[in-house]
Structure 1
Amino acid sequence: MNALSDLRPVLLVTGLLVATLGAAMLLPALVDLAAANDDWMIFTSASMMTMLVGLGLFAANRGAPKGLSTRQAMLMTVVSWVALVGFGALPFHWSGIVPSYTDAFFESMSGLTTTGATVITGLDNVPPGLLFWRGLLQWLGGLGIIVMAIAVLPMLQIGGMQLFKAEAFDTAEKILPRAAQISTSITLVFIGMTGICAVAYMAVGMAADDAVVHAMTTVATGGFSTKDASIGYFNNPAVEWIAVVFMILGSIPFILYVQMLQGRFRPVFRDEQVKAFLSFLGAAILAGWVMAHFSENHVGLEALRHSAFNVVSIATGTGYASTDYGLWGPHAVAFFFIIMFVGGCAGSTSCGIKIFRFQVLLEAVRQHISQVMYPNGVFRTHFNGKPIQDRVVASVMSFFFLFMAAFVVLSILLRLTGLDTLSALSGAGTALSNVGPGLGEIIGPSGNFQPLSDVQKWLLSAGMLLGRLELFTVLVLFLPRFWRS
């Protein structure tokens, strides 16, 4: 029996994660109970069912061999993510806040993948427990993404992520105990940052319940809001600047924060990925400022504020909106469409292609040009002062190709289902990059995904999962060779 045919380790981990999600459902139940809302019974029922299934899977597979093979780790990542989304959708469906399980699954997928696209209308009147659940889904999803990026993806050598492989992950057998250690430190940092963000929001006038939910979705770069008008509802410059700061902090590798707590500040200031990310944001904000100012929708410092907020929101994949930047002109539409693909740093909660991949690609181009100019010279690509292996460069190039191929295929499929071209292109882009709002009248920053058909929602849900799990993890499951011994 080969390692993959024994699914017990996969089901064991999946069961544990599902049970944890079930326990988390009790928190919004308490929120509704405190607010005297009857939805607490829905969350309690969903919690009991989810924990029953999760603990059942865990108990049935307790004798599973320790450690995961590479193929088991890939399967576990996809299976657990889909299972969590499926159970996370239950409160949405049972509450009746959405008309179908399709909508509930879409909302849950958008939450756990920290995409931020929503099908719920009338958020201002939604019960507090459901608003809290949406925020908690994104918060848990953001935390899971960081741990996955540090523990799982480097081991699987996906899309160049092996650049960030820690020495402790040299073998698959070490992944679970080491992941448990490192996730504890990151969870504490994550909780601390969320708490500080919530206090900051409250300090500038946001109500406590709104502040907690927005803090969870800001630090997780998720973008779910408690209001239909998103952050724009508060019409408060201080709120927007706080969001800008914490969206950026959420897009920086969390392992650097752990190192800072250990008294190691040098890596933060020397990290080439962080420097490139901040430089990109600075340039993009200036470009956005010019467009906003000359569109005459916003001028001067107001234009700078809206540019900073919306550029950071879209580039980091958060997806909050403070204004309809589609009104800044056709060049602005193209600009925001392009930056939605960029993303933040690897090892953070942000999504998209990620800054480090652009850096590796530029290094490869620089090396190739140097080799053409000086055929007898020896040139090496470097990242963070260390040589980049050829297989890492090949892996990054493969990721770019697959990302673009997935974008084209998803765009065509959405177009064939009847979506207009702009909505199809931006919908595919925003799903794969886990950004949230698209472009156009339907799914733009002032729109909503509710009008889309069920087929379109399932396609976008698949796109969100594909983008969040870095493409290879999902696509490799469709290869017959993957299932052979």
Structure 2
Amino acid sequence: MLVLLSIFMSLPVLMVFFTEAPNAVAFINSAIFSLTLGVLGLILTRGHSRYLKPRSMFILTVGSWLLVSLFSALPFYFSNLNLSLTDALFESISGITTTGSTVLTGLDQTSPDILLWRSVLQWIGGIGIIGMFVAVLPFLGIGGMRLFTTESSEWTDKALPRMKTLGRGLMLVYITFSLVAVLTYWASGMTFFDALNHGLTSIATGGFSTSDQSMGKFDSNLILIEASVFMVLGALPFFLYVRELNGQHGVLWRDQQVRAFLLLVLVVASAMTLFRWFNEHGDPFSTFAHTLFNITSIITTTGYASQDYQLWGPFAFAAFFFLMFVGGCSGSTSGGMKIFRFQLSMMVLREQFKRLLHPRAVLTRNFNGRAVSDEIIASMIAYAFIFLVCLLVGTLALSLLGLDFITSLSGALTSLTNVGPGLGTIIGPAGTFQSLPDAAKWVLCLGMIAGRLELLSVLVVVSPGFWKG
């Protein structure tokens, strides 16, 4: 991972051939340092067994994200931005977890090499998240993820070749979508540099932009519609795209969580458009474009903004708060609680109603044609409970540090769900996290890492019982 990271660190240096790269030395030094330690690690572990047991997988999953976040912060720390260690690490973690929260202001005047590095970080994080959701978390049985167990989730010698095939397919789809997004934005009026950055962060559902105005900078309904489409593509299960490519046509549309996710986006966007049109009487198409874009951005946990949606009224304010919980599909680049967990919750609720009416009825649970065991339901309930506990603890911690209730609650929520912007005047879509105290930023960093790793994997590793025996 460190060797690959060092290669990506060299990309912003190439900006010197096209524009200016005042931080080239910072990137080169960071790349050399990461490459040296990466190669040293490869040499020291040469000849050791590659087979990983569940305990090792927990350590690898949590440790690798922490390590990559730390090394990714080096270019920020040594750049001309004069960031503190806390701010550099916050920006790095926000990038690699595709959260999109930022401590930077004046992005329109920020050097291109730093802007590109932010976008590259989110693109790296996006493919890392897909791989983690497809191969690692189902294997570990985290938060009901065992429901999506495939041959790639079985870490045996027999399954490893198939996992490599799936990995190549995922990379092909991810790179293709990214290229299409870049070219589409470029053809729609963005400069190539803006198109490159937004193309990378749209598919990664990251939300980093090249302007303080985010997507509002371009003042184009066409670009907003295009961005909505790309965010939705990034929020759908990538392993289903691979299955489509391999001839299993129709599996994407037949997937229950895909249909539920698309229906949710369309229904909520349509309802909010009607609400705004009746209250504001603006241009219907422009109203729809901005509403669809901002709704999609929040549901997919991307974090772009074209307008300050807090100004749309109390109903919109409340709606956006609850939409921050949702997230996209399992196996996508999105964060949040994931659509399938809400579907499983509704399944359990219907089952309880039926048991009240028919106590002796024999009921079965099925999701996408597969039986849902009590183990999966228990894991999902445990995840939901831990999520609410972490939200409570995060909110209280931020409040203890002097932040107001809206900032504390939405800050804790946006970090756990990896949405990006929060609510309120400080960290809302028109603000940044720069003015928060350092202690609050550390709390949010922990929230972003824990939320991206589905909470339970982090809590398992930090529990005393994990290290016994």
TM class by shorter chain equals over 0.9
Q: Report Cα offsets for 1:256-298 as digits up to 9, x if no partner.
A: 1111211221211211110010111111112321332244285
SS at match of 1:307: helix
Query: Does the aligned pair in 1 maintain the 2:135–2:152 contact within 8 Å?
Result: no
**Alignment partner for residue 69 of structure 2, among 69, 85, 92?**
85
Distance in 1 separating the partners of 2:413 and 2:376: 25
Q: Which amino acid aligns with 1:122?
A: G
Distance in 1 separating the partners of 2:152 and 2:90: 36
1:311 corresponds to: 295
2:39 corresponds to: 55
Query: Does the aligned pair in 1 maintain the 2:421–2:428 contact within 8 Å?
Result: yes
Distance in 2 separating the partners of 1:79 and 1:362: 35
Q: Which amino acid aligns with 2:454?
A: E
CA shift for structure 1 position 63: 2.4
1:400 corresponds to: 384
Distance in 2 separating the partners of 1:203 and 1:34: 20
1:149-188 alignment runs, 5 A limit: 149-171=133-155, 178-188=162-172
Which stretch shifts more, 166-175 or 40-49? 166-175
Task: Figure out how many residues of one structure are paired with residues of the other and give that number.
Answer: 469
Change over 3 Å in CA distance of 1:21–1:175 after alignment to 2: farther
Which stretch shifts more, 55-64 or 271-280? 55-64
1:385 corresponds to: 369
**Alignment partner for residue 140 of structure 1, among 112, 115, 124?**
124
Change over 3 Å in CA distance of 1:369–1:112 after alignment to 2: same
Instruction: Find out whether 1:264 has 2:251 as its counterpart.
Output: no
1:481 corresponds to: 465
1:271-286 alignment runs, 5 A limit: 271-286=255-270
Distance in 2 separating the partners of 1:289 and 1:38: 44
Which stretch shifts more, 174-183 or 30-39? 174-183
CA shift for structure 1 position 371: 1.5
2:274 corresponds to: 290
1:77-476 alignment runs, 5 A limit: 77-171=61-155, 178-296=162-280, 298-476=282-460
CA shift for structure 1 position 473: 0.7
Which stretch shifts more, 258-267 or 125-134? 258-267
SS at match of 1:317: coil
Change over 3 Å in CA distance of 1:260–1:390 after alignment to 2: same
Distance in 2 separating the partners of 1:294 and 1:152: 47
Distance in 1 separating the partners of 2:77 and 2:50: 36
Q: Which amino acid aligns with 1:66?
A: R
Q: Report Cα offsets for 1:367-411 as digits up to 9, x if no partner.
A: 121122111110011101221011001111111111111111101
Query: Does the aligned pair in 2 maintain the 1:169–1:178 contact within 8 Å?
Result: no
Distance in 2 separating the partners of 1:272 and 1:58: 42
Query: Does the aligned pair in 1 maintain the 2:126–2:205 contact within 8 Å?
Result: yes
Which stretch shifts more, 174-183 or 287-296? 174-183
Distance in 2 separating the partners of 1:322 and 1:99: 27
Which stretch shifts more, 85-94 or 53-62? 53-62
Distance in 1 separating the partners of 2:402 and 2:232: 36
Which stretch shifts more, 105-114 or 279-288? 279-288
SS at match of 1:442: coil
CA shift for structure 1 position 181: 3.1
Distance in 2 separating the partners of 1:143 and 1:97: 28
**Alignment partner for residue 66 of structure 1, among 43, 50, 53?**
50
Q: Report Cα offsets for 1:302-360 as digits up to 9, x if no partner.
A: 22111100000000000000000000111211110000110000000011000001111
Distance in 2 separating the partners of 1:272 and 1:433: 22
Query: Does the aligned pair in 2 maintain the 1:69–1:172 contact within 8 Å?
Result: no
Query: Does the aligned pair in 1 maintain the 2:98–2:206 contact within 8 Å?
Result: yes
- The alignment's C-alpha RMSD in Å is 1.4
Q: Which amino acid aligns with 2:27?
A: F
- What are structure 1's unaligned runs of at least 5 residues? 1-16
- What are structure 2's unaligned runs of at least 5 residues? none
Distance in 2 separating the partners of 1:335 and 1:36: 42
Query: Does the aligned pair in 1 maintain the 2:76–2:114 contact within 8 Å?
Result: yes
Distance in 2 separating the partners of 1:297 and 1:58: 62
TM-score by length of structure 2 reads: 0.97
Query: Does the aligned pair in 1 maintain the 2:151–2:163 contact within 8 Å?
Result: no
Change over 3 Å in CA distance of 1:231–1:379 after alignment to 2: same
CA shift for structure 1 position 172: 5.5
Which stretch shifts more, 149-158 or 283-292? 283-292
Q: Report Cα offsets for 1:70-120 as digits up to 9, x if no partner.
A: 011011011110000000001111003142011010000000000000111
Query: Does the aligned pair in 1 maintain the 2:23–2:80 contact within 8 Å?
Result: no
Distance in 2 separating the partners of 1:177 and 1:71: 22
Query: Does the aligned pair in 2 maintain the 1:70–1:172 contact within 8 Å?
Result: no
Distance in 1 separating the partners of 2:82 and 2:300: 28
CA shift for structure 1 position 42: 1.4
Q: Which amino acid aligns with 1:155?
A: F
Query: Does the aligned pair in 2 maintain the 1:151–1:175 contact within 8 Å?
Result: no
Which stretch shifts more, 364-373 or 68-77? 364-373
Q: Which amino acid aligns with 2:390?
A: A
Change over 3 Å in CA distance of 1:123–1:477 after alignment to 2: same
Which stretch shifts more, 257-266 or 146-155? 257-266
Q: Which amino acid aligns with 1:401?
A: F
Distance in 2 separating the partners of 1:86 and 1:297: 49
TM-score by length of structure 1 reads: 0.94
Distance in 1 separating the partners of 2:247 and 2:160: 26
Which stretch shifts more, 165-174 or 301-310? 165-174
Which stretch shifts more, 172-181 or 351-360? 172-181
Distance in 2 separating the partners of 1:208 and 1:267: 35
1:14 corresponds to: none
